[in-house]
Structures are given as structure tokens and as C-alpha cells.
Amino acid sequence: MAGNSRTAPVRFSVVMMHHPRRADRLPKVLAAFAPLRPRIVPDPVPDGPPSPLRTAKRAWADIEDGATHHLVLQDDAVPVPDFVRHLWEAVTALPEHGIAMYSHWDSPQNSYLARRATVADRAYAPLSPAEWTPTQGFVLPVDQAGRLAAFLTGIPDDVQDDDEMVVVFCRKQGIPVVATVPHLLDHGHDETIVGHHGRFHATVHAPDLPVPDGHWRQRNGLEPGPYTVELLDSRCGIRIVHGEPVEHQFGWYWYDACPLTGLAPEEILGRAEPWLSVFPAELLPVATEVWAAGYLLGADVARAAVPAPPHGGGPLTRAAVSTWVDSGLAEPDRAAFDLDPLIDLGVAAVRCALTAHSGAHVR
């Protein structure tokens, strides 16, 4: 995932997609993005059927003269501290890429790719060319932004979801798309204009952790593998990347699908015994699923990352596992159990697998 340098300095054109339903929140959102001063692009038919695509068409076409990159934000995005500096450094490092600053914490492929890059201690996660591209905050070089605007023009508004069209455009154009790790944005409101169900948060969000100097200059990505691991409704599953629809509802149960990963389920359960022994009987089924997910993730990274990560991403690994557990437990389990021991268990599983499969010294 090499980045090409440009002779011209990065200059942003910045717009924010806005629905009048959120007008009372807009001043606070704009203040959070200072000093960017995004231009507001309102929904042209706010009383019509919900359609982010309808507004996205205008947002991607509203490019400021003289800009090198066009950034489109949504009006429910919440930036991390020092957002502008992080964004500038990332775009400077990868000026020809599409860069997302967010991924949804339980998306079928991109959330796993973000967690995988986190554990591998990478600054960027190459995203799926099939799953929707996260557009909570997305930046493109201006030439590609203009082409995207033209592409979106021909799509009916009732398609609704701009993110599903953006991934099609980037795939056809051959634009490499990555997410920053950690993410630079979180989702600010539970409800969406379209009415998607669920809770909405970033996959790797750690606004209180400092980003080391030079972090965004690391351009060595970790390319997607043939499968992803999910934790959904307190169940660990494995999804096949090629040949299965991205959004089908049921992944393969991890124990049965383990041969696809090159691991034996007996190994995973055997290494879990010292850790699971401290959990009460009523929590063991859930704890076993969390352990399996973490171990599969750690083993995947250990075998894919060169060089292998020495410490499993440090504090960011816990941030990535925390959102996995929080989003991945069934609601009754979230209400019944303390999440912290399960998060600790997931982190331990990741690091156990790193040690077992890479021989790296894991702190």
C-alpha cells in the first residue's frame, strides 16, 4: 500500500452533508471541526423520502477551486482531538487514496479489517472492495471526487445509501481505500436519517490515547485475507470473503469453520482453559465465544503481518476488542454481565495467539 508524494501541498475542500432535522445540533458539530469551517450542503428535499444519496450528489460536486483533496463529512460525525492535524498527515502520506476516518463497529468485513490492522500495529486498514465504504468522513483527491460526483448523478435517489455507491465507484476506478487506525471520527447520534437499526459507533476509537509522532507516515498496510471473523449475538462466526454475499445474515460457526483458517478448534479451546477457569458457569458459553474470536484474530495477524507485531497493538488492541465485545453480545448478555472481564479475556486471547503463532515476545 505504497503512497505517492505530490509536489503541491495538501489543500482541503470541505463540505458537510446536513439534514434540517439536526439543525439544533449543527453549531456544536461545526465548532468541533474548527478550523476547517465546512461548507454546509443541505438535503435538497428534506421532507422527501430519506436518501443520503440525494445530498451526497451535491456534496461531492461542491469542490472548492484550488483544492487538492475534497472531504465530505456527515452532520452526526464527532472528531477526535487534533483532527485536522491527523487528517493532514494521513492525506499527505497517502495522497492518491480514498481515506475513511470511520468504520462501523459491527460491519461484516470492514470492522474486522480495522481490528486486524490495529492488532498488527498498522496506521491504515485497507478496506473491503465489496462492503459499503464508510462515508461518515471520507476524502478523495479532487479529480476522483469530481468523477464520483458525476457517477452519483446517474443513480436514482431512491437507492438511498451513498456508501454502497461509493464502494462501487472506487472499485471500478481502482482507487485504494483505507481507514485510519485509530479512527478519527465517531458516530454522534444513535438514530440515522434513513432509519437503520442498531447502535452506531466507530470500530477503533481511542480519543484519549496519544498518536505517536510519525504514526501516519507508516504506509505498510495489511491486505485483506480470505475470511473475516465476527462476534454477533454472543456467537463467534467466520465469513468467507469471496463467493458469499457481504451482508448475508449468518456466518459459519467458528468451531465448524476452523479448518478454513488453518487452525484446529481443539487448539483454541485447549489454550483457553487457564483463562476460562475463572469464569462462573453461567458466563462460560459467552466467554468461550469471545475467546474464540480473539484467538482467531490474533492468529490471523501473526501469520499475515511481516514483521509480526511485538505487542499486539498495545492499548489500541484493547480499544478494538472493547467495541467488539460491546457490539457483539446479545442484548440479554450485555445487560446481565460485566463487560470488562470479557474484554480482558478477548485481549488475552489475541495475545496468546500472537505468541503461539509468531513466536513474538508479547507484553
Instruction: Please tell me the predicted confidence (pLDDT) of residue 354.
Output: 92
Domain ranges of the chain: 12-217, 227-358
- According to DSSP, residue 233 is labeled T
Query: Is the bond into 182 cis (omega within 30 degrees of 0)?
Result: yes
Cell of 273: 482453559
Cell of 124: 491504515
- According to DSSP, residue 80 is labeled P
Number of Cβ within a 10 Å radius of residue 307: 10
Instruction: Please tell me the predicted confidence (pLDDT) of residue 200.
Output: 86
Burial annotation 268-302 (CB, 10 A radius, 16+ → b, else e)? beebbeebbeebeeebeebbbbbbbbbbbbbbbbb
Three-state SS at 77? strand
Instruction: Please tell me the predicted confidence (pLDDT) of residue 199.
Output: 82
Instruction: Please tell me the predicted confidence (pLDDT) of residue 5.
Output: 41
In CATH, 12-217 is 3.40.50.20? no
Q: Considering Cα of 235, then 123, then 82, then 185, what sign does the dihedral take?
A: negative
Cβ neighbours of residue 157 closer than 8 Å, sequence gap 6 or more = 45, 48, 49, 51, 53, 54, 57
Residue whose C-alpha is closest to residue 255's, from 292, 208, 294, 210:
292
Ranges of residues in the chain whose predicted pLDDT is under 70: 1-8, 189-198, 308, 310-313, 359-363
Residue whose C-alpha is closest to residue 227's, from 250, 257, 203, 204:
257
Q: Which stretches of 47-161 are assigned E, i.e. beta strand?
A: 69-74, 77-79, 98-100, 124-126, 137-141
Contact 23, 37 (CB under 8 A): no
Contact 354, 302 (CB under 8 A): yes
**In one letter, which amino acid is 89?**
E
Q: Is 31 exposed, middle or buried (0-12, 13-18, 19+ CB in 10 A)?
A: exposed
C-alpha to C-alpha distance for 242 and 141, rounded to whole angstroms: 29
Instruction: Please tell me the predicted confidence (pLDDT) of residue 194.
Output: 55
C-alpha to C-alpha distance for 199 and 343, rounded to whole angstroms: 19
What is the per-residue pLDDT across 146-205, written as a single tens digit (0 to 9) for each? 999 999 999 999 898 999 999 999 999 999 999 999 999 999 865 655 555 568 899 999
